[in-house]
Structure 1
Amino acid sequence: MLLEVQKSGMRVGLLIGHEGTLHDAFPLEIFSVAVVVEEKIILHGLRDVPTGFAMLMGTIYCLNLEYPRSMKYLFEFMQRVIMKIKPKQCSARIHGLRNRLLRNCV
């Protein structure tokens, strides 16, 4: 029942199973990560969040899904800047953010 509530309304995302209370953004005792697409778990039993995120990005790419509108720029930033997939094709907003980050890192 709780799992159904967690997946409710989720277009794409990760479900992170953990033990204990949640004090930080990511709990220390993660026991499972699952990839969710359109309220259905399509991959489960992943051991860590980075693997889950890579599988999520791969799923979005392979199924040719659109990024959720509310998280469009986050996904684009992760794809273009962090993962360096076609970095020259980023939007003006992401290009500006990337330049500001690079300028402040030097």
Structure 2
Amino acid sequence: MNNMQIGLLIGYEGELEDAFPEDIFNAGIVVEEKIVLYNLNDIPCSFAMLMGIIYCVNLEYPTAMKYSFEFLQKVVMKIKPDQASAKVHRLRNKLQKNNF
């Protein structure tokens, strides 16, 4: 968790064979190197909670992942989609044009 600004911490058993292991026993949310929520049992719920924390506490996205988080917030979750940056608008338009 050192130097982790924002992220998910996933506890699982067994070997890691996929990006999201099936045998998850715990998931937590890390903000500024501290676990702020834990004992979450699934990844989609954990991710939604992470996005909610970012939005409610008005945190800045990590610089390296700024546009990824913005795309997820504005396009996927439809939170203030009209306020997306030009890059995110272009990507959304390309995806809509190609029926993704």
Shorter-chain TM-score bucket reads over 0.9
4+ residue stretches of structure 1 with deviation over 6 A?
Answer: none
- Aligned residue in 1 for 2:45: 51
- Measure how far apart 1:34 and its partner are: 0.1
The residue that corresponds to 1:80 in the other structure is 74
Show structure 1 runs of 5+ residues with no match. Answer: 1-6
Offset from partner CA, 1:57-100 (integer Å, 9 cap, x none): 11112221100000000100000000001111111100010011
Aligned mate of 1:20, from 14, 17, 21: 14
- Give yes or no for the alignment of 1:68 onto 2:62: yes
Name 1:9's counterpart in structure 2.
3
Check if 1:98 corresponds to 2:99: no
Aligned to 1:3: none
Q: Deviations over 1:7-65 (max 9, x none)?
A: 11100100011111111111111111100001100100001011111111111122211
Count of residues in Structure 1 that have an aligned counterpart in Structure 2: 100
Q: Provide the C-alpha distance between the structure 2 equivalents of 1:101 and 1:63, rounded to a whole number of angstroms.
A: 30
- For 1:36, what is the secondary structure of its paired residue? strand
Q: Which runs of 5+ in 2 are unaligned?
A: none
SS in 2 for 1:84: coil
Give the Cα separation in 2 of the matches to 1:86 and 1:63: 16
How far apart in 2 are the matches of 1:49 and 1:102?
26
What secondary structure, in the 3-state scheme, does the structure 1 residue paired with 2:89 have? helix
